[in-house]
Structure 1
């Protein structure tokens, strides 16, 4: 039996052993599809129907049935979109939030009962393997279909995750102290992210210092690099800054980021300087050059 057959068999049997096909999935009181929808809405709030389609990978007919069922139970509300009356927006209600919180608690109990039969090393390997396989699956899916990648300003409920990703990249890969990564409130920073479902996979920030717009804190999950996430994030964030009235954006960037920014019309305006063991180069991007580069 080859590796793909082994994984396929194990996944099928895990689903069976955990009872994920049941209408009372892992004693949560919910089906698996219902739990996914409520969990997504709990994290993201009001969500367009089409976003659920894309992010959860459920076919339209099945999603419509599940949404109708949740609505009839008073777990969610469905309204016409305020921006497009042809579309529907879905939001979680207090009863739905209560049920997914309780459901998550019951699921945790079941999983903990299972893990108690393994020693510390076994449990650690299981956690690591599940995460690594999920990321590989995510990368494979994003290469085939990038529509799940949402570039947006970081909302309050994702700010902690965004900062955590930035700190992880800058401290582990660039030896920059963690306390230097978050931006001071007096700089009134704007943070942007690349989000896939409930995962923050890229982050960057812009801020005003000495009456000049600056761009930085640019980081992408190293496991998902090379598939265009960083470029999308850079274009969106830089464009947003220019739309906020900036005529020029300054950045002190490492060589790989300078190479990216040159695609958007950046100019080098000084000599590289050492910053925690690596060089950073001062650059500037003018609005006119940026617009010309992306059009």
Structure 2
């Protein structure tokens, strides 16, 4: 990236621990993962319009499905995949409820689409089409509530390639990686501290790693041929340490942003930024190159 904006929402540095200690109790890491599942949730919004009548169509959605599968093939080879296209509210709720009921060792949930942020509120827009033209979706509290009911024996890896997601699940730790990729540590988030003060009704209690496409104040970007910049980069990433993985995502997205800003016909505005983030409910090791392999040993 040309510049990394360090959030001011953190103040506590947390020590990292080996994965088996950080996620102790959620599963035996040497057991085969035949029950694990990946859910790919995508939306194209064909024919849908924003309140100002501009098109909502995401023509890169088809490419996102391809790229998300490429990511799974490298990071969780052989995992059972459920693809939900043009996802409505009930489709998403049904898939998360199935994860709650089935208690898979690992659940990878990839969500692509539009996020909408209004003063004091966030909404992921679904493909529900109301006759009056108003947009339907799942707000931040509803998404948090759904995942708060996931069993503590399930490890969730959630990837959100939509605008304004940030620390949507209000997880305790954010991974800080310096602009050159050489410095890194876990930092405690303001969202977690705020929730401790107000005793939030719903909180994530199962182990979760959240890969967010951007900060909560930022949009995410796509093109028809590349798809979402985050997902395009995920398809090219390789299993590595968590800091190296996040650094790779930021470098890849930044490359796409530079190309878009230099486009000869329809350049992206020069002040646009997109900084992928990683949040976690605990502090797994930041120096373990086998992190992802331990999450999904496979089904030998």
- Compute the TM-score of the two structures, normalised by the length of structure 2: 0.26
**Greater share of helix:** 1
- Compute the TM-score of the two structures, normalised by the length of structure 1: 0.26
Larger of the two Rg values belongs to structure? 1
- Identify the structure with bigger relative contact order (alpha carbons < 8 Å, sequence gap 6+): 2
